[in-house]
Structure 1
Amino acid sequence: MPRELRDTPDAWPVNATATPFTGNKTSVRTDDVVMPDGSVVRRDYQVHPGSVAVLALDDQDRVVVIRQYRHPVRARLWEIPAGLLDVPGENPLHAAQRELYEEAHIKAEDWRVLADVYTTPGGCDEAVRIFLARGLSDAEGERYAVSEEEADMDHARVPLAELLSGVLAGELHNNCLVVGALALAAARAGDGEDALRPALAPWPARPFPA
């Protein structure tokens, strides 16, 4: 890939920083950032631990999806299983396997990386790794006990083609579902699913032990 098409690390100087709000999982930070011309501007952004998401694909080319109420946007969204990196430096593959079990009671034999994205880089530092999981089967043991919004989730398996149509029609809006479905379609149009990065590929945005 040409060098100009690669995102590159950079960090402009910060004269002062403060954390005016700290929540249960995230916080808000205010930085005074020095611009290239020497001026200083204030930037507020959400500090986020990072997330993982799983596009779980069964042998009938259906994707495991859930529908969950999302209060900030006042909507029930169809999504793929996802969750936070609860522990700093947590292995994202292990987190994704946990989320697939907790939200869908499913395990998978084959894992690949579909895409790494920043959800809203202008206002939040959240990084998400989206996995492709294949070779699905039911998980053993009791289902994970859910509460709050998760207690009202719907579950379904939807053909990938139907998800792609919903994305392009503007009917599906969850970013992980949208990126995951389009990334899988792009992979199939290119070198194929088996050419995707391995599940333990490096992730500079959220480094983890090998």
Structure 2
Amino acid sequence: MTTTDGGVLGDSLSPRRLLSSQTVYDGRIWDVVQDTFEFTPGNEPLVRDYIEHPGAVAVLVLNDADEVLLINQYRHPVRMNLWEIPAGLLDVAGEPPHLAAARELAEETDLIAADWSVLVDLFLSPGSSSEAIRIYLARTTSPVPAEQRHQRTDEEADMAVAWVPFDDAVAAVLAGRIHNPSAVAGLLAAAASRAGGYASLRPVDEAFEAHPRLRSGEPRA
């Protein structure tokens, strides 16, 4: 699809001159940063506070019975148990996103997948956070050997895991019963991709250029 000016439809990098950047809140998992930047030359600089986030990965797993793997986890900020897909932070230095996704899948569900593709990329709240998340489609699973399984703690300790018919999960999204953003985006993207014979899937190791920390040749002040 093209835009009205004939270009390819898609988001684009739009660098602004960064005048200063400081951490105004040093959090346990993520920080709040205040940037002062030149939005347009000759005008007053703008100041914006936002959550500086390491980014995340998520995995939508399908089996041969066309069922999707969902987990049920308590999320304190919203005081709800949410149906989600396996996910986790990109918080291991130097770990490629697809390997982080495989690690999170094993840690949260005791499963290994042999077939991986990139499904969809998104920013979860680009007006207030730098968080970028990549969602993978994984298939052909097998169990993690018992002696290699991760010990789950805190909210993950009593996490329920269920295989759900894919069409039922998509219907639950559209009915407003599933709210987790990676689950919503992953399920709807997978439904759209399936309708096109999964031709939209991308290679598992495709560069994650949208991620602010993974862009090639773009140093941050």
Matched, 1:207 2:217: no
TM-score, length basis structure 1? 0.93
| Amino acid across the alignment from 2:112 | K
Q: Which residue of 1 aligns with 2:219?
A: none
Matched, 1:9 2:13: yes
Q: CA RMSD in A?
A: 1.7
Per-residue displacement from partner, 1:155-206 (whole Å, max 9, x unpaired)?
Answer: 111111111111111110001100100001111122x225510111111125
Matched, 1:100 2:105: yes
Q: Which residue of 2 aligns with 1:146?
A: 152
| Amino acid across the alignment from 1:62 | E
| Amino acid across the alignment from 1:189 | A
Distance 1:108 1:15 in 2: 45
Contact 1:49–1:88 at 8 Å: present in 2 too?
A: no
Distance 1:116 1:89 in 2: 19
Q: Which residue of 2 aligns with 1:70?
A: 75
TM-score, length basis structure 2? 0.88
Contact 1:28–1:47 at 8 Å: present in 2 too?
A: yes
Q: Which residue of 2 aligns with 1:30?
A: 34
Q: Which residue of 1 aligns with 2:52?
A: 47
Contact 1:89–1:207 at 8 Å: present in 2 too?
A: no
Structure 2: where are the runs of 5+ without partners? Answer: 217-221
| Superposed displacement of residue 139, structure 1 | 1.6
SS at the partner of 2:179? coil
**Which deviates more, 105-114 or 133-142?**
133-142
Distance 1:115 1:141 in 2: 31
**Which deviates more, 143-152 or 173-182?**
143-152
Matched, 1:82 2:90: no
Structure 1: where are the runs of 5+ without partners? Answer: none
Contact 1:63–1:157 at 8 Å: present in 2 too?
A: yes
| Amino acid across the alignment from 2:79 | R
